[in-house]
Amino acid sequence: MRFKDRVALVTGGGRGIGAATAKLLASEGARVAVSDLDETPAREVADPIGALAVACDVSVRADVDHMVELVEKKLGGIDILVTCAGIIRDNLLFKMTDEDWDAVIDTHLKGTFLCARAAQRSMVDKKYGKMVFLSSTSALGNRGQANYSAAKAGLQGMARTLAIELGQFNINVNTVAPGFVETRMTRATAERMGMDFETFKLGAASQIPLRRIGQPEDIASVIAFLCSDESSFVSGQTIYVRGGP
């Protein structure tokens, strides 16, 4: 029960890595708010674990402020923020549109900024907080992902900066950077490339030293570690979770 009496807000919690994280935090005692773009996936995850479901577009400031106020009112001040909301709009540079760029930067980078800024208020008051942002191995560069790679590298810089600013309030800020994880996001990539998902997964696994792709639970357990007091002296770091170095 590492998260007994803690309040955790998980964005993008209706699917994939966010859903696995919300379930794990709840199973260890946290009062969880599951936020997603639409209420239906948020509710599907939240209801069975007794969590609060909130619909929120993280790229819209009014939505984020409303979500954070609601969580504070219904569950108490926020102790843990995990930002999993994410999209991909892959294309080679010469084909990447302004809309592809803006949608990805707004969701990952602006969305995380808005959530962190809104959530820090109650963390500073409590002199306690854990923030974990979802980065990616794509932060190191990945063909067709100029927008996503820039956003994911940006999140690492943002986490390091917030770790410096918020450390004096006993707030830890870190990023987790997964490799290939089996979710709707990687399924969509296979579809876009015209590949069968099973073949796509086998190809990815063959490139990974541990010879398997990740599951959302593989990432959730590392996020939970960074949300726990076991990692209370770790801040401003990125942990790559990709089955290899």
Residue 17 contacts ligand NAP per CB under 6 A: yes
Dihedral pair phi/psi, residue 109, rounded to 5°: -85, -55
> Residue 80 pairs with which residues in a beta bridge?
8, 130
- Selected from 178, 220, 223, 235, the binder of ligand NAP by CB under 6 A is 178
Residue by residue, DSSP assigns 198-221 as HHHHHHHHHTSTTSS-B-HHHHHH
Is 240 a catalytic site residue?
no
Choice among 133, 148, 180, 240 that is catalytic: 148
Using the contact rule CB under 6 A, the part of the chain among 15-23, 73-81, 114-122, 161-169 near ligand NAP is 15-23
- Selected from 21, 120, 136, 156, the binder of ligand NAP by CB under 6 A is 136
The tokens for 94 are 């010469």
Subset of 53-82 contacting ligand NAP (CB under 6 A): 56-59
Contacts of 85 (CB under 8 A, 6+ apart): 11, 12, 18, 35, 36, 37, 58, 107, 108, 111
Residue 154 contacts ligand NAP per CB under 6 A: no
* Contact call for residues 25 and 84 (beta carbons, < 8 A): no
- Selected from 18, 144, 236, 243, the binder of ligand NAP by CB under 6 A is 18
Nearer to ligand NAP by C-beta: 132 or 163?
132
Residue 244, CA distances (Å) to 113, 188, 202 in order: 29, 24, 16
Residue 139 contacts ligand NAP per CB under 6 A: no
Using CB under 6 A, list all residues that contact ligand NAP.
11-12, 14-18, 36-38, 41, 56-59, 84-87, 107, 111, 134, 136, 178, 180-181, 183-186
Active-site positions read 148
